[in-house]
Structures are given as structure tokens and as C-alpha cells.
Structure 1
Amino acid sequence: MRNRIIILIILVIGIIIGYNYIYQDHRDIESEVAKYEITSEDITSSFSKNPTEAETKYLNTTIEVAGKISESDNTSITLDDKVFCQFTNNIQNAVKVDSKIRIKGRVIGYDDLLEQVKLDQCSILN
């Protein structure tokens, strides 16, 4: 009987720890401090010269990117045709093409085909 109670307690503790590990809170990129401040040209050249080193340095980190808007729609902006920024909210009237801007977001990867760095959870800084 005593062994069953101990096993049950260990099982309940394991379930609680597992649940808390799997269902962690999402990161709030907007409130995080950016680890790097960089231009769109610099981060793209970093990925094209040495992708492995750039992924180790930038992947899943919060950065600030400065550049000129080349494309814009309701939920995304492309800077200098090199950095694609995905927003969670509508940005329809907040930006104009060919204006300079700084954006903070999380690096999620590099698209070899389009030669673009991809960011998500972005926010406009100026």
C-alpha cells in the first residue's frame, strides 16, 4: 500500500512538471531588450557569407533592424528586399514605402531562395 502511494505521488509530480514544461508562456518580443542593433544589409551579408555562424549568432534572438521599406501590406514589411518582418497586428496605415524605419523582432531564419532574413513578432520602433 505504501509503495502505491509513493508511486502515485511521483506520478502526479511528474505530470505537473511535464505540463509546466510543455505549456510555457510565450515570449513577449516587444518588451524584450534587443540583443543586436544591425542594418538590413549587414544581417543579410552575414547570413550569405557564413550561414552556420549567423544562425548560431542570430537565430531565435531579438534584434533591431534598420532599413528602407521596399514592400508593405497589412501584416508584413520587407526592408531593402532583404529582411521580411511579420507583425501580429495590422500595420496598414503606420508605414509608407521608401521611408526609413527601425523594427524589433525575433529572427526565425534565412530563406536561401529569396535571400531574405525572416523575423516574426515584430514591432515598429520609429
Structure 2
Amino acid sequence: MKKKILLGMSLCLVIASLGLVYLYSYKAHRDISAEKVDYVVTISGLESEFTANERSAYTKYQNKIIELTATISMIDATSKGIVLGEKVFATFKDSLPKKITSGKTLKIKGRFLGYDELLGEFKIDESSVTN
């Protein structure tokens, strides 16, 4: 009798553990365009914060939703991205919006990924146009 109870409890524990692993692994993805903006920043503001204290700036901005306004320097249709103010590389989730043209001022929001020291660019993904 005790063996049957232990076997039943063990089986329930295994099933519950598998269920938790499944729920953790296949949770819904973030919808960045629907989330609230954490920080409204400028490119020069980002540069000064990263120059002053890179570790603190990463802690503040990493994986947060930021919004910034800048002029489009370059459009890269193959990677669905744009360069803003020659310092921020922003990629879009699905495709580039049709109204994007080089030289135009644009307000975008997206998830801050980090700073690429080699290229001297800040990286943002899942961007969306907010103006």
C-alpha cells in the first residue's frame, strides 16, 4: 500500500514538474509596441551616460523600452533596420514602415539591447514608429 502511495505521489510530482517546465519554456513573447515606455532619451544623453559609467548605464537601460527622436542616417532593408543620428541602429520586427525615408526625423520606441563599442552604435530591436 505504501509503495502505491509513494509511486502515485512521485508520478504527480513528475507531471507537475514537466508542466512547470513547459509553461516556463513556452510563455508568451513580449509585445514591445504595446508596452509602456520606460525612458525617453536622446542620443547625446545615452552617450554621456555610457561615457560616465558604462556599467550603471547598462543596468539602467538593458532590456528596457526606450523612446527617442532622431534623423534617419541610413536605411538597411535587408536587415529591416535603420541608423538614427549615425549612432543608433534600430531594427523592426516585421518590416520597415513605408513612410521611412533617409533624412527624415523620426520618433521610435523599442527595446534597448546595448552598445556596440566596435561600431560605436547603440542597438535597439522590435522598434515601432510613434509619430
TM-score grouping bracket, smaller chain normalisation: over 0.9
SS at match of 1:21: helix
Paired positions, count: 126
Partner of 2:31: 28
Instruction: Summarize deviations over 1:16-49 as a string: whole Å, max 9, x none.
Output: 0111112211100000010001112211332233
Partner of 2:118: 113
Can you give the 5+ residue segments of structure 2 that lack an aligned partner in the other structure? none
| Larger Rg computed on CA atoms | 2
For 1:68 and 1:83, how far apart are their aligned partners in 2? 10
For 1:53 and 1:117, how far apart are their aligned partners in 2? 15
- 4+ residue runs over 6 A deviation: none
- 1:103 counterpart = 2:108: yes
Partner of 1:73: 76
1:19-58 counterparts in 2 under 5 A?
A: 19-58=22-61
- 1:86 counterpart = 2:85: no
For 1:66 and 1:49, how far apart are their aligned partners in 2? 22
Partner of 1:122: 127
TM-score, length of structure 2 as denominator length: 0.90
TM-score, length of structure 1 as denominator length: 0.94
SS at match of 1:123: strand
